[in-house]
């Protein structure tokens, strides 16, 4: 069995590798070759933690496995990121455990890759202003990946905790782009693409604040009860997702479906657009919304690449197991 420690991941895998792996596995889902198993996610009644498993199998790449871990909100005071996870890959022919891979950086990179894929396929080509809602750990990864997809000329941002926004200003500065903090009314009025990546449990962005033609990537809602945008925005947008079953249960769509103002038949998997089965955006005025719930197949696809690269670079630790 191979171990690829968390400390090696940053030197092994690039954001571009992650983008390619995530784009490919979304397409594999559309070909009905890859599927996720039901998610387990539980409040364990200790350390305010949410712990769970996400697992799946891709018959095209033979990536089989699971990500175990979750969200420990008090970790920052311990010098740790609050998302902690490990990815286990299994040999699809024998069931033997093939690798354990540090999952923390991979989670951030694969989540950023998902919204970047949605921007590639759904945002207007001429998108110039990128709006960020949220400034936590994931947000910088989101911003960096999104900036690769269009010729953005400005980054605008809002966060519930304004003191955290310097993290995004730094990324914008690194990319040579102007950065401005706005309220949500103005952020919606100026942005061509909006990414939300918060741990909010109440709607932040209102339907009336989003202008025609905007692409919105809702990336923070990955659990029952979380919510970043008004259900009315979901109802008025053309909605795409990584996986419909997750979108209606733990994703942003859960609220609009519960309210009966949208239904799962109206939601399109992004893999269908990647594989050419769905045309994606239909007009310059359409609001597109990507509900990025975070699926096991993203983790397995990126971890598989990390294992191959670790073998090539000689940094995979082999143990008898
Ligand atoms: P973080 O704790 O570092 O940051 C939390 C963010 O949410 C900050 O911007 C904070 O200001 C904001 N926030 C906190 N309380 C809020 C409130 N009451 N109202 C509005 N905003 C509030 O977390 P992170 O690692 O950046 O993750 C952000 C979110 O993304 C989490 O909900 C996490 O579970 C989710 N996530 C989703 C995926 C996916 O695949 N979809 C993957 C990883 C993380």
Q: For the chain, list the strands marked E by DSSP.
A: 2-4, 34-36, 40-43, 50-58, 63-71, 83-90, 97-102, 129-133, 154-158, 179-181, 193-196, 201-205, 215-218, 227-229, 238-241, 268-269, 288-291, 317-318
What local confidence, expressed as pLDDT, does residue 183 receive? Answer: 98
Closest C-alpha residue for ligand 1 atom 23: 136
The two tokens of residue 8 are 């090696």
Regarding the beta carbon of 167 and ligand 1, being less than 6 Å apart is answered: no
Regarding the beta carbon of 86 and ligand 1, being less than 6 Å apart is answered: no
Catalytic residue among 54, 67, 120, 226: 67
Regarding the beta carbon of 200 and ligand 1, being less than 6 Å apart is answered: yes
Mean pLDDT by 10 residues, the chain (321 residues): 98 97 97 95 94 96 97 91 94 98 97 98 98 97 98 98 98 98 98 98 98 98 95 98 97 98 97 98 98 98 98 97 85
Its pTM stands at 0.97
Regarding the beta carbon of 135 and ligand 1, being less than 6 Å apart is answered: yes
Q: How many angstroms is it from 197 CA to the middle of ligand 1? A: 5
CB < 8 Å & 24+ apart, contacts of 89-98: 89/63, 89/64, 89/65, 89/300, 89/303, 89/304, 89/307, 90/64, 90/65, 91/64, 92/57, 92/62, 92/63, 92/64, 93/62, 96/1, 97/1, 97/321, 98/1, 98/2, 98/307
Regarding the beta carbon of 275 and ligand 1, being less than 6 Å apart is answered: no
CATH superfamily to which 124-294 belongs? NAD(P)-binding Rossmann-like Domain (3.40.50.720)
Q: How many angstroms is it from 138 CA to the middle of ligand 1? A: 7
Query: Do 124-294 and 2-107+297-318 fall under one CATH topology?
Result: no
Q: Tell me, letter by letter, the H, E, C secondary structure of 184-229.
A: HHHHHHHCCEEEECCCCEEEEECHHHCCCCCEEEECCCCCCCCEEE
What local confidence, expressed as pLDDT, does residue 263 receive? Answer: 95
The verdict on whether 154 is a catalytic residue reads: no
What local confidence, expressed as pLDDT, does residue 83 receive? Answer: 87
What local confidence, expressed as pLDDT, does residue 49 receive? Answer: 95
- Residue 56's nearest CA partner among 100, 93, 87 is 87
Q: How many angstroms is it from 294 CA to the middle of ligand 1? A: 13
Contacts of 120 (CB under 8 A, 6+ apart): 23, 149
Regarding the beta carbon of 254 and ligand 1, being less than 6 Å apart is answered: no
User: What are the phi and psi torsion angles at 232 (to 5°)?
Assistant: -60, -30
Q: Give the length of the chain.
A: 321
Instruction: Choose one of 134, 168, 226, 254 to mutate for the ligand 1 pocket test, by most ligand atoms within 8 angstroms of C-beta.
Output: 134
User: What are the phi and psi torsion angles at 130 (to 5°)?
Assistant: -105, 125
What local confidence, expressed as pLDDT, does residue 159 receive? Answer: 98
What local confidence, expressed as pLDDT, does residue 119 receive? Answer: 98
Contacts of 202 (CB under 8 A, 6+ apart): 227
Q: What is the pLDDT of residues 54-71, one digit of tens each?
A: 999 999 999 999 999 998
- Residue 209's nearest CA partner among 284, 162, 156, 248 is 156
CA gap 175, 168 in Å, rounded = 11
Regarding the beta carbon of 82 and ligand 1, being less than 6 Å apart is answered: yes
Instruction: Choose one of 158, 199, 247, 291 to mutate for the ligand 1 pocket test, by most ligand atoms within 8 angstroms of C-beta.
Output: 199
Regarding the beta carbon of 150 and ligand 1, being less than 6 Å apart is answered: no
ipTM metric:
0.99
What local confidence, expressed as pLDDT, does residue 239 receive? Answer: 98
Could you say which of 3.30.1780.10, 3.30.565.10, 1.10.110.30, 3.40.50.620 is the CATH number of the domain covering 2-107+297-318? 3.30.1780.10
Q: How many angstroms is it from 229 CA to the middle of ligand 1? A: 14
Atom from ligand 1 closest to the CA of residue 161: 11
Regarding the beta carbon of 133 and ligand 1, being less than 6 Å apart is answered: no
Task: List the chain domain ranges.
Answer: 2-107+297-318, 124-294
DSSP, res 82: S
Q: How many angstroms is it from 204 CA to the middle of ligand 1? A: 13
Helix (H) or strand (E) holding 303: helix 296-313
What local confidence, expressed as pLDDT, does residue 76 receive? Answer: 86
Atom from ligand 1 closest to the CA of residue 202: 19
């Amino acid at each position: 069995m191979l171990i690829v420690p968390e400390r090696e991941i940053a030197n092994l895998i690039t954001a571009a590798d992650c983008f390619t792996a995530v784009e490919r596995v979304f397409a594999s889902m559309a070909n009905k070759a890859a599927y996720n198993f039901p998610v387990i996610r539980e409040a364990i009644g200790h350390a305010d933690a949410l712990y769970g498993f996400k697992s799946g199998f891709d018959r095209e790449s033979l990536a089989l496995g699971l990500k175990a871990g979750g969200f420990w909100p008090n970790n920052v005071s311990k010098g740790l990121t609050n998302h902690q996870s490990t990815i286990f890959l299994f040999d699809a022919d024998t069931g033997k455990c093939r690798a354990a891979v540090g999952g923390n950086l991979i989670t951030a990179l694969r989540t950023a890759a998902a919204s970047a894929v949605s921007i590639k396929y759904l945002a207007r080509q001429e998108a110039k202003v990128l709006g960020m809602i949220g400034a936590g750990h994931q947000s910088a990864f989101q911003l960096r990946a999104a900036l690769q997809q269009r010729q953005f000329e400005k980054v605008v941002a809002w966060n519930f905790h304004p003191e955290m926004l310097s993290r995004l200003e730094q990324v914008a500065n690194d990319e040579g782009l102007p950065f401005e903090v706005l309220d949500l009314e103005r952020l919606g009025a100026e942005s061509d693409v909006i990414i939300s990546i918060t741990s909010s449990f109440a709607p932040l962005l209102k339907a009336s604040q989003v202008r025609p033609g905007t692409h919105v990537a809702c990336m923070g809602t990955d659990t029952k009860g979380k919510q970043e945008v008004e259900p009315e925005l979901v109802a008025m947008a053309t909605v795409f997702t990584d996986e419909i079953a997750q979108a209606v249960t733990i994703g942003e769509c859960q609220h609009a479906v519960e309210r009966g103002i949208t239904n799962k038949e109206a939601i399109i998997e992004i893999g269908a657009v990647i594989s050419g089965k769905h045309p994606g955006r239909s007009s310059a005025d359409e609001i597109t919304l990507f509900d990025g719930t975070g699926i096991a197949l993203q983790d397995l696809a990126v971890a598989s690449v990390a294992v191959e690269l670790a073998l090539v670079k000689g940094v995979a630790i082999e143990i008898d197991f």
